[in-house]
Structure formats: structure tokens, C-alpha cells
Structure 1
Amino acid sequence: MLKNSRFCLCPSRYEVASPRVMEAFYAECVPVLISDGYVPPFSDVLNWKAFSISVAVKDIPNIKQILMGISQNQYFRLHRRVKQVQRHFVINGPAKRFDIFHMVIHSVWLGVL
């Protein structure tokens, strides 16, 4: 079902990261980050505003209107960028350049993790 969706809701809870974000990338749908203060993975190097939608918890009742307000052109731009950054969230064996292994190592090197 996710593969047929344009947007994937990714609510954060108390954990650092939601598995829904990874599922969104695998399904190639635009992640909709529902949170107050959630810091997305690799936000030190990835511009999440370019390929995701952020919704504050207080705006959950308006989520349908928010998503319906996104134009076709804006959606296609977000979707294209999701496909571009998808490689940063893939686990390869052996590791490939710019995959999640290298993203984690880069974050460790920056002292983010």
C-alpha cells in the first residue's frame, strides 16, 4: 500500500527515529514528518525541506488540507528528490559509496552521533 501512496505519514514518538521514515524511502513516497522538534536523520548534510513535508502535532487535524494544498509540480519535485536521496538510506553488502553505512560514518566523523 505504501508503494501506491504519494505521501507516507511518519509520526515520531519518543524514540530518536521512526522506522516509518525508512519505509517511506523504500516505498518512494514523500515522507510527512509529524512532530514537534524532531531532528531527521543526517540533517547535518541533507536538506529535508527539499524532499519531505513537516507537520506540527497541533496541525494534525489539518493534515488532509495541508497535503491537498501541495501542487502537482511541487509533489513531483519532492518525489524526484526522494528518489535521489533514497540511496543514502539503503543498506548494501558490501557497502557502496553514499549508502547508509557511509552516512553513519560521516555523522560519526562530524561528531553528530
Structure 2
Amino acid sequence: MTREPYLISYARVSKGDDQTNAAQWRALDVARCKRCSRRPPAADGRIGGRRRKLADKQRREIAKFVVSGRKSGAEMARLYGVSEPTVSRIVATYRQDPLRLP
């Protein structure tokens, strides 16, 4: 018994302005895709991407300590085990809109 070879891949298959999920699934049906998987969104509403390493409370603490000048960005990065650019992004978000930071 021989198996039919198949290709596993991800591709955006619709063209033009219609980039909705329904259009993608219709295009896969037309292309006779045999195995299609719909991955449900994560519990926090994300679709893909990495999980956050820091909790919301930790992000607020980092921003407040750096903005107030009590700790440097490098110190907070070492303390929480994240990179300095991550701390910089957290602080920038906080400075733009303190309420936006969860």
C-alpha cells in the first residue's frame, strides 16, 4: 500500500482586498486542500505569537521604577530576566499612555 504524498505548509491564498478568514478557507476548499487546521485563539485573545514573560503587574512595576528614576532600565532587565529593549518598550508604552499598560 502506497501513500499519496502531501505537502504541509501555510500560505495566504486569497488575493485582492478580501483577506478575511472566510475568504482564506474558501480558497483552500477550491484548491482541494485535504487537511486544514483552524487554530483557536489563545485564552487571552492572542492568535499566535509568544506568551508574555511578564505579568501585567510586573510590567507596571518596571515602568514606574524606571520613569521615577529609582532603577535604571538595565537594572530592571537583569532583575526580571528580560532584555533591555523589552524594558525600553514597556517604558515607552507607559510614557505614551500610562493607562494603556495593563
Q: TM-score with structure 1 length normalisation?
A: 0.20
Q: TM-score with structure 2 length normalisation?
A: 0.21
Which has more strand, going by share of residues? Answer: 1
Which has more helix, going by share of residues? Answer: 1
